[in-house]
Amino acid sequence: MFESLGAFVDHLRAQGKLVDIDEELSPDYEVAAAVRLIDQRLGKAVLCRKVRGCGMPVVANILARRDLLRLAFASPNDPTEEYLRRIGGSLPPEVVRAAPVHEVVHDGDFDVAKLLPLLLHHEKDAARYISSGVTVSRDPQTGLRGMGIYRIQVCGPRELTISIGSPPVSDFLAKANATGKPLPVAIAIGLEPLSYFASVVPVAAGVDKFDAAGTLRGAPVPLVAARTQPVEVYAEAEIVLEGEMLPNTQREDGPVGESTGYYHAGRSWAARLTAVTHRAHPFYYALVPFAAENTLLMGVTREADLLAALRRKFPSVRRVSLTQGSVAMLAIIQAAPASKEEATAMVRAALEGSMQVKTAILVDADVDPHDLNDVQWALSTRFQADRDLLVLRDLPGSPIDPTATNRRTAKLGLDATRPADQAEAFMRIALDPAARRRVEEILARLT
């Protein structure tokens, strides 16, 4: 477990998984371009040390790949399996009195844009956005804590919109709006990796998400009372914005480049800031919408839910991959179906059981679901369209699919497994194991 974002950044650098950029970059589009291009080309985290007009360095992409998530879990296991192994328990947070995030406090007439390197991400974005902020709040009736990542638009020195559309914070806001009272919130920017990951895991209604975060980290999350709002927030965060949601008030939001890869415009809930607090030497954490981390943060938990549900029905299901390029709407399922009927039932269960899966491809145990070359090979050599294709109509779809009508969509299933009785005829060619081991050793010395 890492104490802070800074500790994880040091670890990523030591592992060769971080690119340090020393050239000065502008917060207007240039930092976002660096984050996206390093993500696409190198799959690494990035630290932009000098950002024009602001003394704070910007970090991004810390969880942009599965191997980075493995480092965060400090486990060689597949992150989806590790998540399934850890989730389900309850380890409540620990409330502390003094916190690094309170080393510097601005609670007067501040202008948030002058304090933080707020970024312009995409060419048609209407404003600066904070895409990585974890908004923490409490149920105004029961006091239950909860958090989530919600898109934040900066509208003025202390004015924001926050696109709170999913639970638990959307439930808290609905209750506050019903009574006409403001909802206190605190927004954390820059967290150690497992607190960040845990901020968006789904939990059952009535469960404190910080209890789930504790089990994922293997240690209680340290919380501290915010300075100007009756809410507790991550003590180890780099930066925290404190404020309140204005009751029943919405403003224009966007256009803004979103996680789908398209621009979005609409209306979102208005908020007013009352303080900005941060460490003495904080990192600003950036998430560029549609970069790989955006999909992976939620994809791994969705993948785990689907895997667990499929395994309950079909014990031969081994792995599930919700692919990056499909914004987690394409599922590759690795299994050993005993018959054609079972293969079809698996594909149908994946399409019907997961709202966000729009296409499902079933592959055999000898095909790596995380290797798209392998999947294409299976599709080309084991799939016949007039025999192995399934089309389902009018099912609940992903809320982010722009082709869905009222969130209903058609779905496609492809059974790319070989006939169960023809394993011999479809046996893959393979290298001699001893020769492979020897050459692997030689290559490890050369590279």
Ligand X SMILES: Cc1cc2nc3c(=O)[nH]c(=O)nc-3n(C[C@H](O)[C@H](O)[C@H](O)COP(=O)(O)O)c2cc1C
Among 66, 128, 145, 151, binds ligand X (CB under 6 A): 151
Shortest distance in whole angstroms from residue 161 CB to ligand X: 10
User: Contact at 8 Å (CB) between 298 and 80?
Assistant: no
Report the C-alpha gap between 387 and 385 in whole angstroms.
5
Report the C-alpha gap between 242 and 378 in whole angstroms.
52
Looking at residues 279 to 308 of the shown chain, list those that interact with ligand X (rule: CB under 6 A).
287, 294, 297-298
Question: Pattern of binders to ligand X over 98-137, x per CB under 6 A?
Answer: ----------------------------------------
Structure tokens at 302: 């969705």
Q: Is there binding between residue 356 and ligand X (CB under 6 A)?
A: no
Q: Taking contact as CB under 6 A, which single stretch among the options 15-23, 164-172, 364-372, 416-424 is the one that binds ligand X? A: 164-172
Q: Taking contact as CB under 6 A, which single stretch among the options 56-64, 157-165, 223-231, 371-379 is the one that binds ligand X? A: 157-165
Q: Is there binding between residue 166 and ligand X (CB under 6 A)?
A: yes
* Complex with ligand X: residue 149 or 320, whichever CB lies closer: 149
Report the C-alpha gap between 198 and 185 in whole angstroms.
18
Reported as half-sphere exposure (CB side, CA atoms, 13 A), residue 368 has a value of 6
Q: Taking contact as CB under 6 A, which single stretch among the options 55-63, 147-155, 247-255, 337-345 is the one that binds ligand X? A: 147-155
Bridge partners (DSSP) listed for residue 161: 153, 270
Report the C-alpha gap between 161 and 249 in whole angstroms.
10
* Count of helix runs (H) and strand runs (E) in the chain: 13, 21
Among 43, 92, 165, 353, binds ligand X (CB under 6 A): 165
Shortest distance in whole angstroms from residue 118 CB to ligand X: 17
* Complex with ligand X: residue 19 or 200, whichever CB lies closer: 200
The amino acid sitting at 260 is T
Shortest distance in whole angstroms from residue 293 CB to ligand X: 7
E-state strands within 323-370 = 330-334, 359-363
Backbone angles phi, psi at 114, to 5 degrees: -90, -15
Among 7, 81, 91, 167, binds ligand X (CB under 6 A): 167
Shortest distance in whole angstroms from residue 119 CB to ligand X: 14
Shortest distance in whole angstroms from residue 136 CB to ligand X: 12
Q: Is there binding between residue 150 and ligand X (CB under 6 A)?
A: yes
Indicate if the alpha-carbon torsion angle 201, 206, 208, 213 is positive or negative.
negative
Number of residues that bind ligand X (CB under 6 A): 15
* Complex with ligand X: residue 173 or 416, whichever CB lies closer: 173
Structure tokens at 102: 């309170």
Report the C-alpha gap between 286 and 241 in whole angstroms.
15
Query: For the chain, how far is it from start to end, CA to CA, in angstroms?
Result: 30
Q: Say whether 113 sits in a helix, a strand or coil.
A: helix
* Complex with ligand X: residue 99 or 130, whichever CB lies closer: 130
* Complex with ligand X: residue 190 or 337, whichever CB lies closer: 190
Looking at residues 168 to 227 of the shown chain, list those that interact with ligand X (rule: CB under 6 A).
200, 202
Among 148, 193, 243, 282, binds ligand X (CB under 6 A): 148
* Complex with ligand X: residue 297 or 378, whichever CB lies closer: 297
Bridge partners (DSSP) listed for residue 277: 105, 240
User: Contact at 8 Å (CB) between 62 and 56?
Assistant: no
User: Contact at 8 Å (CB) between 314 and 345?
Assistant: yes
Among 4, 80, 163, 323, binds ligand X (CB under 6 A): 163
Binding site for ligand X (CB under 6 A): 148-151, 163-167, 200, 202, 287, 294, 297-298
